[in-house]
């Protein structure tokens, strides 16, 4: 399934905030963000959490038990943000 407008916006935020050498449109909304998929590490996730907080007003906590699910893909991260958006 193609990325929604919100997912594309979030993908652009990921690329910009982490200085990734990939086009936002090339991020598969279902691919893992962490490890094998996009290849983000824990430092990237922290930086991304700050960017999401500034951009969307959504706090992501490092000790959240749901982080594996939240950061499992662009789509799941976007769904989490949209559900909690200020």
For residues 15-32, average pLDDT: 95
Tokens standing for residue 25: 């449109």
4 pLDDT higher than 90: yes
Q: What is the spatial distance between Cα 19 and Cα 64, in angstroms, rounded to a whole number?
A: 25
The predicted structure's pLDDT at residue 37: 86
Concatenate the DSSP letters of all residues of 20-62 into one string.
-SS-GGGS-TTS-SBTTSS-B-HHHHHHHHHHHHHHH-----T
List pLDDT tens digits, range 35-77: 888 999 989 999 999 999 999 999 998 888 999 999 999 999 9
The predicted structure's pLDDT at residue 35: 82
Stated pTM of the model: 0.91
> Closest Cα partner for 4 from 71, 68, 76, 53?
76
**Extents of the domains making up the chain:** 5-84
CATH of domain 5-84: 1.10.1200.10
């Amino acid at each position: 399934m193609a990325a929604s407008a919100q997912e594309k916006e979030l993908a652009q935020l990921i690329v910009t905030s982490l200085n990734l050498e990939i086009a936002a449109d090339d991020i598969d909304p279902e691919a893992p963000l962490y490890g094998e998929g996009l290849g983000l590490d824990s430092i990237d996730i922290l930086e991304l959490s700050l960017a999401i907080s500034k951009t969307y007003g959504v706090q992501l906590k490092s000790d959240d038990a749901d982080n594996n699910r939240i950061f499992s893909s662009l789509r799941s991260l976007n769904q989490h943000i949209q559900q909690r958006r200020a």
